[in-house]
Amino acid sequence: MTIPQCPLPVHGATQLELKGISYSYNSQPVVRNLSLRLKQGDIGCLLGPSGCGKTTVLRTIAGFENIAEGSIVLAGETVSREDYTLPPEKRRVGMVFQDHALFPHLSVTRNIAFGLKDWDKAEREERVETLLKMVGLPNTGSKYPHELSGGQQQRVALARALAPCPSLLLLDEPFSSLDVDLRERIGQEVREILKAQGTTALLVTHDQFEAFAIADEIGVMNGVEIQQWDSAYNLYHRPANRFVADFVGEGVLMQGVVLNEMQVETELGTISGEIPLECKAGCQIDVLLRPDDILHEDASTLQAEVAKKAFRGADILYTLKLPSGRKVLSLVPSHHNHAIGEKIGIRLAVDHVVTFTKNQHSELEALG
């Protein structure tokens, strides 16, 4: 008997498109004019604090909530618009939840096969066996969820969601119940599985490291909108606004004075880079300095006092107090172990200059 295969992916085709969708609850906007696009095989992520509308977006894509404006298109078919919603069971969308949502009274095999009731028995058994191997859990089909670890349960939940060959997989905070080390490892495994299957997926999380490990593109959400949709690299090194700079990574904002269109004078010296168009010579701006922008160098004449230190294994994150009293962060290899109150030499090594005009508040300024 021929074993059914998932449809071959059409690489480069748009698999998911949100066109200006809006959703409100009790007249309170939850999502407003949100747009994004995922190509076949891409993994996207909505990253943001609690209450910013991330999960609501997933629920509208799955068909659990009706949008008020805009449209949702899956594989070229409009499945949601203001006056129409295709039922969830007809969307070929899989979901993986935070709590795994496995059926405790069903074995691993029956959990994975739950969405394959219309398949021939031999086809169903072959699909389950293939998925168990894919998620690294062969020979566990007869076990029950309570006999598995949290990481194993999450992999079973992933296999169950992938079993009926969904056109899109939605993952709602899928690893938040796992400890930090396991979360990172399982996240990387999930990415490899999705890429091997050519599965298009959209992840929701508040954990930036989880987003970085899994997603190709990330949308940072706040205030019911996407603030920036970009690669992890660009979100960290080229944040579009102060909120993104605050939310992604660590850093401080240092006051500077524009010397010309390419240079800013700061307490730590002159920094060269792109200056906001509205700022001319003499304009005061804020410069974003990440911990990796400030290097420890014994021979440097620029000294800073160690105010705090956080040991991170290979590195130590130092909070350093400058002569002015201003504080900056520096990530230093941990064999440079300095005491609180000790003065160390530092120098700037800024490859990506990010500046903001001074008419906006930022939480990054709290270290000052």
Residues 63 and 160 in one domain: yes
Question: Quick one: average pLDDT of 203-230?
Answer: 93
- C-alpha 324/C-alpha 268 separation (Å) is 11
Give whichever of 147-151, 214-218, 223-227, 236-240 has the largest mean pLDDT. Answer: 214-218
Least confident of 95-104, 178-187, 227-236, 305-314: 178-187
Residues 132 and 54 in one domain: yes
User: Per residue in 147-199, pLDDT tens?
Assistant: 998 888 988 999 999 999 898 999 998 887 777 777 778 888 889 989 988 89
Could you list the residue range(s) of the whole structural domain that residue 351 is in? Answer: 250-356
DSSP state of 277: T
Instruction: Please enumerate in sequence order all residues whose Cβ is within 8 A of that of 51, keeping only pairs 6 or more positions apart, or say none.
Output: none
CATH number of the structural domain spanning residue 97 = 3.40.50.300
Q: Has residue 217 been placed in a domain? A: yes
Q: HSE (CB half, 13 Å, CA atoms) of 121?
A: 0
Residues 134 and 151 in one domain: yes
Q: Is the pLDDT of residue 254 over 80?
A: yes
User: Which residue type occupies 82?
Assistant: E
Residues 219 and 236 in one domain: yes
In this prediction, residue 359 carries a pLDDT of 62
Q: What is the distance of C-alpha 39 from the center of its chain?
A: 17
Q: Has residue 86 been placed in a domain? A: yes
Q: Which of 242, 260, 294 is the last residue of a domain?
A: 242
Q: Is the pLDDT of residue 201 over 90?
A: yes
In this prediction, residue 252 carries a pLDDT of 93
In this prediction, residue 2 carries a pLDDT of 42
Edge-to-edge strand ranges of the sheet holding 354-357: 269-272, 263-266, 252-260, 284-289, 354-357
Instruction: Please enumerate in sequence order all residues whose Cβ is within 8 A of that of 81, keeping only pairs 6 or more positions apart, or say none.
Output: 67, 70, 71, 72
Q: Has residue 1 been placed in a domain? A: no
DSSP state of 92: -
Give 169-221 as a DSSP string: EEEESTTTTS-HHHHHHHHHHHHHHHHHHT--EEEEES-HHHHHHH-SEEEEE
In this prediction, residue 320 carries a pLDDT of 97
Q: Has residue 98 been placed in a domain? A: yes
* Two structure tokens written together for 219: 């949308």
Residue 268 banded pLDDT, cuts 50, 70, 90: very high
Q: Which of 219, 242, 265 is the last residue of a domain?
A: 242
Q: Are 306 and 338 in contact (CB under 8 A)?
A: yes
Residue 4 banded pLDDT, cuts 50, 70, 90: low
DSSP state of 337: -
3-state SS class at 275: coil
Residues 235 and 256 in one domain: no
Query: What does DSSP say about strands 315-321 and 77-81: parallel, antiparallel, or unpaired?
Result: unpaired
User: Which residue type occupies 78?
Assistant: T
Q: Is the pLDDT of residue 261 over 50?
A: yes
Q: Has residue 56 been placed in a domain? A: yes
Mean pLDDT computed over every residue of the chain:
89
- List the beta bridge partners of residue 306: 320
Task: Compute, in degrees rounded to 10, the torsion defined by CA atoms 163, 168, 173, 174.
Answer: 20
Dihedral (CA of 107, 99, 244, 273) sign: negative
Residue 78 banded pLDDT, cuts 50, 70, 90: very high
- C-alpha 239/C-alpha 355 separation (Å) is 10
Structural domain total, the chain: 2
Q: Are 141 and 106 in contact (CB under 8 A)?
A: no
In this prediction, residue 366 carries a pLDDT of 45
Residues 111 and 236 in one domain: yes
Residues 205 and 307 in one domain: no
144, with CB counted inside 10 A (0-12, 13-18, 19+), is middle
CATH number of the structural domain spanning residue 256 = 2.40.50.140
* Two structure tokens written together for 296: 């420890």
* Two structure tokens written together for 348: 């700037």
Q: Which of 38, 32, 6 is nearest to 20 (CA)?
A: 32
- C-alpha 330/C-alpha 354 separation (Å) is 17
Q: Has residue 368 been placed in a domain? A: no
Name the phi and psi angles at 30, rounded to 5: -110, -40
Q: Has residue 3 been placed in a domain? A: no
Q: Has residue 364 been placed in a domain? A: no
Other CB atoms within a 10 A radius of the CB of residue 187 amount to 25
In this prediction, residue 364 carries a pLDDT of 54
Q: Is the pLDDT of residue 360 over 70?
A: no
pTM for the model: 0.86
In this prediction, residue 8 carries a pLDDT of 61
Question: Quick one: average pLDDT of 234-242?
Answer: 92
User: Per residue in 107-162, pLDDT tens?
Assistant: 999 999 998 988 989 999 999 999 999 888 998 999 999 999 888 898 899 999 99
- C-alpha 190/C-alpha 195 separation (Å) is 9
Residues 161 and 21 in one domain: yes
Residues 339 and 223 in one domain: no
Least confident of 43-57, 197-211, 273-287: 273-287
Residue 216 banded pLDDT, cuts 50, 70, 90: very high
In this prediction, residue 368 carries a pLDDT of 47
Other CB atoms within a 10 A radius of the CB of residue 274 amount to 12
Query: What does DSSP say about strands 28-39 and 14-25: parallel, antiparallel, or unpaired?
Result: antiparallel
In this prediction, residue 65 carries a pLDDT of 94
